[in-house]
Amino acid sequence: MSRIRHVVCAVSGGVDSSVAALLLKKRGYRVTGVFMKNWDSLEESGTCTSERDFDDAHRVCQTLDIPFHQVSYVKEYWHEVFSYLLKEYEKGRTPNPDILCNKHIKFNYFHKYAINTLGADAIATGHYARTSQEDEDVFHHKLTPHHNTHTTLFRNPVRLYKPADLLKDQTFFLSQISQDALRQTMFPLAGLTKAFVKKIAAEAGLHHVLKKKESMGICFIGKRNFEKFILEYLEPKPGNFVSIEDGTVKGKHKGWFTLTLGQRAKTGGQKNAWFVVDKDVATGDVFVAPTTNHPALFRDTMRTDRFHWITGDPHPELVRNQMMECHFRFIHQKPLVPCTVTLNMDGSVWISLSQPLRALTPGQFAVLYKGDECLGSGKIIQLGPSEYTLQQDLERLKAAAQHGEQQSPDAAS
């Protein structure tokens, strides 16, 4: 019994976190379940989804016969995630609340609560991800009672890897978490597929979580229209939809913050569909193009803010050569794209892609991978020129060259 340690598992009322808690108990750990309430809201139907999730999570813990706690991080979420989101939208960017929630709430406040208040040796979540510690079987070794001993127990940086089920890979959403939190985190679903997780839940009698639909989209918006939702918090700032090709006005919008790059614009009265390709926050103009794959939507370079390396330091190859080949994505589950990364003096990075991608978006996170390892991420703050801009520049250069050739005979005479 001396080998059994205390693990606090985040339980959301879904099948993944429920099976994570079940597996921990089966492995002999003393498990406590904690439900986090991060948002106060009623859906349009009048149903409070957090209350339903709370009941489901509580029922799971009763079935597993483990202690159950609820913590509220509504204020923390508002100040550190949601307020930040609103500021980013006002700047014309499109933030990622899931990455920010993991960074600030689950792997910060929840982590500290589990370790310092509940006396846990480690936390666990239902994310599909893997760490280097699980490869080394570190979590099967007994910890001493002092909570700060993990700094000496783990001599090497803990690395974050893709899980067995690549279709469910959630390392993208974990790309901003701290090394301190990762050192004390377990991912029980690391080696399992989603199908097998559902099978385990069914065999354990957790049918009430099996019947639930998976949560999709931004948690606090629910079934509401995004434009209506964001206009509850930001004053409308009407502006024009302007053609990127000829500068003509194609319609009106209620605020650049209601729109993101690549989405279809509600231009109204236009025969063909138009798509958002750029924004000018100073004028309020939102630039649009007439096709979904217009060259104005494609770019292959970007700069991030100070890059967050999961191991704490930039990759050794990047430090050594000031350049590194790896892979990139900025949307969860999109295919990884080969890229070249350059490290800047301020800790930011330039990323050059092997092929232009559609709708690279400021405010989103550039997540880098080296093989199976998720290296970390940085917020995209600057984009390189679009394919359309490059085409225009090339045409201007050709026109200038032709004009020069036409004038040269006159100059000679």
In a domain, 258, yes or no: yes
- What is residue 152's predicted lDDT score, i.e. its pLDDT? 36
Residue 339 annotated among the catalytic residues of the structure? no
Q: Do residue 313 and residue 279 come from a single domain?
A: no
Over pLDDT 90: what percentage of the chain?
77
Of the pLDDT bands very low, low, confident and very high (cuts 50, 70, 90), residue 1 is very low
Active site residue: 9, 61, 101, 326, which one?
101
Type of residue numbered 300: D
Of the pLDDT bands very low, low, confident and very high (cuts 50, 70, 90), residue 267 is confident
Q: Do residue 187 and residue 329 come from a single domain?
A: no
> Alpha carbon of 412 to those of 29, 404, 409: distances in Å?
90, 12, 5
Q: Do residue 254 and residue 384 come from a single domain?
A: no
- What is residue 27's predicted lDDT score, i.e. its pLDDT? 93
**Average pLDDT along the chain:** 89
Of the pLDDT bands very low, low, confident and very high (cuts 50, 70, 90), residue 226 is confident
- What is residue 274's predicted lDDT score, i.e. its pLDDT? 96
Torsion sign over Cα 406, 411, 412, 413? positive
In a domain, 224, yes or no: no
Dist. CA 240–CA 243, nearest whole Å: 10
- What is residue 145's predicted lDDT score, i.e. its pLDDT? 42
Say if residue 134's pLDDT is above 90. Answer: no
Say if residue 28's pLDDT is above 50. Answer: yes
Of the pLDDT bands very low, low, confident and very high (cuts 50, 70, 90), residue 71 is very high
Dist. CA 342–CA 9, nearest whole Å: 38
In a domain, 183, yes or no: yes
Element (H, E) at 299: strand 298-306
Of the pLDDT bands very low, low, confident and very high (cuts 50, 70, 90), residue 135 is low
Q: Do residue 196 and residue 252 come from a single domain?
A: no
- Between 213 and 195, the higher pLDDT residue: 195
Q: Do residue 314 and residue 341 come from a single domain?
A: yes
CATH code at position 67: 3.40.50.620
Q: Do residue 177 and residue 95 come from a single domain?
A: yes
CATH code at position 260: 2.30.30.280
Of the pLDDT bands very low, low, confident and very high (cuts 50, 70, 90), residue 213 is confident
Q: Do residue 117 and residue 153 come from a single domain?
A: yes
Closest by CA to 365, choosing from 99, 59, 151, 35, is 99
Type of residue numbered 183: R
Residue 308 lies in domain: 298-388
Q: What is the average pLDDT across 191-197?
A: 97
Of the pLDDT bands very low, low, confident and very high (cuts 50, 70, 90), residue 137 is low
Say if residue 294's pLDDT is above 90. Answer: yes
Of the pLDDT bands very low, low, confident and very high (cuts 50, 70, 90), residue 39 is confident
The string of pLDDT tens digits covering residues 300-331 is 999 999 999 999 999 999 999 999 999 999 99
Closest by CA to 297, choosing from 350, 367, 351, 244, is 244
Poorest-confidence range of 4-18, 124-138, 208-222, 251-265? 208-222
Total domains present in the chain: 3
Element (H, E) at 210: helix 207-210
Say if residue 286's pLDDT is above 50. Answer: yes
Q: Do residue 357 and residue 276 come from a single domain?
A: no
Q: Do residue 245 and residue 150 come from a single domain?
A: no
Q: Do residue 170 and residue 21 come from a single domain?
A: yes
Dist. CA 43–CA 223, nearest whole Å: 7
- What is residue 140's predicted lDDT score, i.e. its pLDDT? 54
The string of pLDDT tens digits covering residues 40-69 is 765 544 445 778 899 999 999 999 999 999
The string of pLDDT tens digits covering residues 233-242 is 999 999 999 9
Say if residue 215's pLDDT is above 70. Answer: no
In a domain, 401, yes or no: no
Poorest-confidence range of 10-24, 71-85, 318-332, 398-412? 398-412
- What is residue 2's predicted lDDT score, i.e. its pLDDT? 33
Q: What is the average pLDDT across 83-87?
A: 95
Say if residue 358's pLDDT is above 90. Answer: yes
Residue 101 annotated among the catalytic residues of the structure? yes
